[in-house]
Structures are given as C-alpha cells and as structure tokens.
Amino acid sequence: MTSEQTVCCECGRSAPAANTTDTLVSKTGWRLTRTRGTATFEWRCPECWAKRKSALAANARTLWPTGH
C-alpha cells in the first residue's frame, strides 16, 4: 500500500507510507469507515476522524437525550 492509494475522503490529505492498512490504523490514527447500508469504504485522517466522531456524538445526544 502506498500513500497515493490512501487519501482522506474529507480533506484530501495523503496517508503516510505504510506496509499494511493495519499500520495506518494502529500506528498513525487513520480510520477506515463503511457507509451504513452500502459497500462504500472511506479513509479519514486523524484530524478529520476526530471531527466526524465529535459530530456523530453530538448528533446522538440530540436524538437520544439523557437526564429526562
């Protein structure tokens, strides 16, 4: 796998060179996600993954508020 093959779907940043996709996830913080209900996979760099994770958590709190 080369960095030219792996690009963040949000910001377009190229992934660092890695021997395997496991290295991208475990050593560099890149995340591979699947779009629900499809066979579409998307890579996200650590910064974009953090933003997406935060947005998903905020959305979940809106849909399922606690403390009521």
Q: How many domains does the chain have?
A: 1
Angle at 57 between CA 12 and CA 42, to 5 degrees: 30
State the residue range of the domain holding 6: 1-68
Say whether pLDDT at 2 is over 50.
no
pLDDT tens track for 4-29: 478 999 999 999 888 777 788 888 88
CB atoms within 10 A of CB 68: 3
As a whole number, mean pLDDT of residues 58-66 equals 75
Question: Which residues make Cβ contacts (< 8 Å) with residue 9, sequence separation at least 6?
Answer: 42, 43, 44, 48
What pLDDT does 68 receive?
Answer: 52
pTM over 0.75: no
Average pLDDT, the chain: 83
